[in-house]
Amino acid sequence: MSEQTIALVTGANKGIGYEIAAGLGALGWRIGVGARDRRRRDTAVEKLRAAGTDAFGVPLDVTDDASVSAAARLIADHAGGLDVLVNNAAITGGVPQTPTTVDPATVRAVVETNVIGVIRVTNAMLPMLRASASPRIVNMSSSVGSLALQTAPGIDMGPVPAAYLASKTFLNALTIQYVKELGDTNILINSGCPGFTATDLNGFSGVRTPQQGAAIAIDLATLPDDGPTGGFFDDAGTVPW
């Protein structure tokens, strides 16, 4: 491993993912821009490089085993290892999406990207993360996945798509399980909520900018070695599970 910190951000060609890549790149890190669309990926890499970030493209479809395996090989060959993984790629599955009307195929597609995709990418990158001096895994979740907030009196989570909401609850549970299994390692693993951010995921209806939404991921990616693990955080602090 070189002394330069190496990070992979999935879904980094636009929105919050791009801003996470830009923020970490501004720290002098080398950034793998994970994205499945070649044109958008190349455009993002060019833009990041123009801003001074040491960025390289990583063809990556988190729903495809072969693509993820190839991405791991590319990072190992191109960067020599990996220190930080930000699992940011996600889909909503479209709206409206209520439990009584949602197509089961939509649920499968959302979980395949938002949950199984995280498992697929994390496990493929884990050998490199284990070899890092200060490894971090950041799972980009959402407060809409909080069971505590969903059931708290007086709190209205809004018309959140059912499959998307459940996928983030699932992702939070997965984060905890990774922490339990990898508790004897130095890998810090946390879930982060970007807040209601204006991206194409919600038709740009959010009230926060992508740069603001990226802040929590940058914070969790840069935690000190004695920082928290197994937590769920947003800009204001701890989010209840």
178 is catalytic: no
Within 13 Å, how many C-alpha atoms sit on residue 208's CB side?
Answer: 17
Q: CA-CA distance, 202 to 193, in Å (whole number)?
A: 15
The answer to whether 59 and 70 are in contact (CB under 8 A) is: yes
The answer to whether 30 and 103 are in contact (CB under 8 A) is: no
Residue 195 one-letter amino acid? G
Q: CA-CA distance, 92 to 80, in Å (whole number)?
A: 34
SS3 18: helix
Residue of 18, 29, 164, 232 with catalytic role: 164
Angle formed by the axes of helices 117-130 and 65-79, nearest 10°:
30
Question: N- to C-terminal Cα distance for the chain?
Answer: 35
> Exposed, middle or buried: residue 208 (CB in 10 Å: 0-12, 13-18, 19+)?
middle
Point out the residues that are catalytic: 164
